[in-house]
Chains A and B, each alone.
Chain A
Amino acid sequence: MTRKLRYAAIAIALALLATLPMWMGNSYYINIASQFLLFAVFALALNVLVGYAGLVSLGHAGLFAIAGYSGALMLQAGYGHLVADSAALAITLVASAVFAALALRSTGIGFLMITLALGQIVWGVAYRWASLTNGDNGVNVSTRPAPFGLSLTSAPSFYFATLIVFLLAIASMAVFVRSPFGASLRGTRDQARRMNALGYNVWLIRFLAIVFSGFWTGVSGLLFIYYNQFISPQVSALTSSAEVLLMVISGGTATLFGPVAGAAIVVIMKNVVSAYIERWNLVLGVIFVVIITFMPEGLVPGSVRLVRWAWGKLQAKPGAAAAQPSKLPSEERVP
């Protein structure tokens, strides 16, 4: 029954996503939907580490920016889209491997702090090495690619391209989670020492997970530069890493659809909040504090629990007298 419900929910969500440009009409909203999908790919990538490997990275915006900058700079230098994008992905994979080799010198807090420092290095290059990255002025991307001769300049066409990449990403995540590799990665998260004793190479499993995560981070970085047609150092800042981490934890970690829900929540909230007040960082910070203090299991499961709890309280009031007698016999049975 729950399985059928689940499939039905997925089918409805897919149908809604596939027809979104037809009922959304306004291209502003279609663009927000594209934004949501590309950040969902980013959040899915980070969830591989945060959710399944138990490694919290605060430097993923660095990898995102490496992909974006490599792509943008190569396009600016006159290379074609195919060459620029493949080269950017290759560079991102190498960068992920370097990140992994350094950050895996440690786990837990150490891992997090090292990834934070590595992310800041990328920010430093993007911001200060002006002769390479054009500094604060950023890099423009003049054209979007036209795969198989289909132009992606309009909002709906770009949305569909992003949707296809997103579906590929989520399919690869589904395969990854069910694969023996996914199982061994979860094993290293829960019982690293036992996995080691069983003969698994814990370091290698984690290393490959970081590179896998780096790949999809790179893909989302490329989607980002094509979506925005511009990249600036802000993309690699700690705030960006924190934002995508918020997407992962708000939806609930180590679930397939949690990061997707989280991406939707954060992107919508950011667009709505930014329309009314300038203080997005303040809102982001307050959300973090509220989540940690009141619903440590994530925004979506947490809200469900809080609503249930409130509902239960409401229901319990009239039935309080009836509930009490049923409780007494069970206490009497205790010897």
Chain B
Amino acid sequence: MMTQITSVQAAILAINSLALGGLLFLLSSGFSLIFGLMRIPNLMHGSFFMLGAYFGVTLLSWGTNFWLAAVLSGLAVAAIGGVIERLLLRRLEGQVLPQVLLTLGFAFIIADVCLMVWTGDPSQPSAPAELRGAVQAFGMFFPLYRLAILGVAVVIAIALWIMVDWTRLGAMIRAGVDDPPIARVVGIKVSRLFTLIFCLGAALAAFAGVMGAPYLSVYPGLDFEMLPLALIVVILGGSGSLLGTLVGSFLIGFLYNFGQAMFRDLAYVILFLPMLLVLVLRPQGLFGRNVA
């Protein structure tokens, strides 16, 4: 059942793993903000990713610049997420079951609407022209675009870390999450802040979708394939922890690629093993805070 791999294959797999890890971080950091910080079980997160990717496909087919397309599609999905949060999710604060059903309902709606608009055929936009080549190092060729995904993920990780840990906005978010009534008393607009975080999470997912499109391609079902991945990353890393999300993303990235190459039949199952281990040994996640 196990397939042997050579060291050259291993190096290529490692690059792919880093790229997938970066992509997973973009996806899961948004999920971690929404699920980990705001405690909203957002089952639309995979749908945000897929919708973003499809928006990207359309924008790119109109000849938009790749990065502009990624940002625009992020903004569009952020707006959709914001409307759903503001008008519907907001009324269900603290009620888990209704939140789950509402987000699940929208996930189904988005999936079917995407199928209607973009049909069932997979589409794979090409990477931006300047990143189409490969770099040569250690006698091997590494595709430039995959390295670029990694680079973007690192930049966004640093930006998020600075925002949450070092800015006034981050302090307000942390206060709003830890003790909403007191935060309101000192004049923080918690409700507006939460909408902002939700939009940010949705935008990150959609941005990841566009970034991932040239690599993974976009097809129906992508949404429910990505959602569990975001879920295991966050359970693994500990909810609400950016560092945990980062470590979890790369762990899953490596496991996915190497598992795919070595245990083809079981690759998908292997992905869940570290999550199960963490649940048994350390339920709050690798870097999670110990919350009751």
Contact across chains for A108 and B96 when beta carbons are under 8 A apart: yes
Q: Which among B62-70, B176-184, B198-206, B260-268 touches the partner chain? A: B260-268
Contacts A285-B109, A288-B102, A292-B102; A116 near B280 (Cβ below 8 A): no
Chain B residues whose CB sits within 8 angstroms of the CB of A285 once the complex forms: 104-112
Report B249-292 CB contacts with A as 1/0, cut-off 8 Å. 00000000000000001111101100110011001000000000
Chain A residues whose CB sits within 8 angstroms of the CB of B272 once the complex forms: 117-118, 120-121, 124
Partner of A56, one of B96, B116, B280: B96
Chain B residues whose CB sits within 8 angstroms of the CB of A131 once the complex forms: 265
Partner of A291, one of B41, B43, B101, B228: B101
Contact across chains for A58 and B276 when beta carbons are under 8 A apart: no
Q: Whole-angstrom distance between the alpha carbons of A315 and B108 in the complex?
A: 39
The reply to whether the CB of A112 lies closer than 8 angstroms to some CB of chain B is yes
Chain A residues whose CB sits within 8 angstroms of the CB of B88 once the complex forms: 289, 292-293
Contact across chains for A56 and B97 when beta carbons are under 8 A apart: yes
Q: Kindly count the residue-residue contacts between A and B in the assembled complex, taking CB atoms under 8 Å apart.
A: 114
- Nearest residue (CB) in A for B267 is A128
Q: Shortest CB–CB separation between residue B214 and chain A, in angstroms?
A: 24
For window 94-132 of B, CB contacts with A under 8 Å fall at 96-98, 100-102, 104-113, 116
Contact across chains for A120 and B283 when beta carbons are under 8 A apart: no
Q: Shortest CB–CB separation between residue A61 and chain B, in angstroms?
A: 12
Partner of A282, one of B109, B224, B231, B235: B109
Q: Shortest CB–CB separation between residue B10 and chain A, in angstroms?
A: 22
What is the interface of chain B mostly: helix, strand, loop, or mixed?
Answer: helix
Interface residues on A, range: 35 or more
Chain B residues whose CB sits within 8 angstroms of the CB of A114 once the complex forms: 235, 279
Contact across chains for A109 and B41 when beta carbons are under 8 A apart: yes
Chain B residues whose CB sits within 8 angstroms of the CB of A125 once the complex forms: 268-269
Q: Which among A178-186, A237-245, A303-311 touches the partner chain? A: A237-245
Chain B residues whose CB sits within 8 angstroms of the CB of A246 once the complex forms: 101
The reply to whether the CB of A90 lies closer than 8 angstroms to some CB of chain B is no
The reply to whether the CB of B232 lies closer than 8 angstroms to some CB of chain A is yes
Contact across chains for A288 and B101 when beta carbons are under 8 A apart: yes
Report A103-133 CB contacts with B as 1/0, cut-off 8 Å. 0011011101110111011001101111110
Q: Whole-angstrom distance between the alpha carbons of A285 and B101 in the complex?
A: 9
For window 129-172 of A, CB contacts with B under 8 Å fall at 129-132
The interface on chain B, measured as residues whose beta carbon lies within 8 A of the other chain's beta carbons, has a size of 40
Partner of B269, one of A129, A239, A292: A129
The reply to whether the CB of B39 lies closer than 8 angstroms to some CB of chain A is yes
Q: Shortest CB–CB separation between residue B291 and chain A, in angstroms?
A: 10
Report A280-298 CB contacts with B as 1/0, cut-off 8 Å. 0110111111011100100
Q: Whole-angstrom distance between the alpha carbons of A114 and B278 in the complex?
A: 12
Q: Whole-angstrom distance between the alpha carbons of A231 and B104 in the complex?
A: 25
Contact across chains for A109 and B96 when beta carbons are under 8 A apart: yes
Chain B residues whose CB sits within 8 angstroms of the CB of A16 once the complex forms: none
Q: Whole-angstrom distance between the alpha carbons of A225 and B260 in the complex?
A: 31
The reply to whether the CB of A18 lies closer than 8 angstroms to some CB of chain B is no
The reply to whether the CB of B92 lies closer than 8 angstroms to some CB of chain A is yes
Q: Shortest CB–CB separation between residue B275 and chain A, in angstroms?
A: 6
Q: Shortest CB–CB separation between residue A49 and chain B, in angstroms?
A: 12
Contacts A120-B228, A129-B266; A282 near B106 (Cβ below 8 A): no
For window 196-244 of B, CB contacts with A under 8 Å fall at 224, 228, 231-232, 235
The reply to whether the CB of A210 lies closer than 8 angstroms to some CB of chain B is no
A contact set with B: CB distance below 8 Å:
50, 56, 58, 102, 105-106, 108-110, 112-114, 116-118, 120-121, 124-125, 127-132, 237-239, 242, 245-246, 249, 279, 281-282, 284-289, 291-293, 296
| 7 sample A-B contacts, Cβ–Cβ < 8 Å, listed by A number | A114-B279, A117-B232, A121-B268, A128-B267, A129-B265, A279-B116, A281-B108
B contact set with A: CB distance below 8 Å:
35, 39, 41, 43, 88, 92, 96-98, 100-102, 104-113, 116, 224, 228, 231-232, 235, 265-269, 271-272, 275-276, 279-280, 283
The 3 closest A-B CB pairs, nearest first, are A288-B105, A285-B108, A124-B268
4 additional contacts (CB under 8 A) given A128-B266, A285-B108: A120-B228, A281-B111, A289-B106, A296-B98
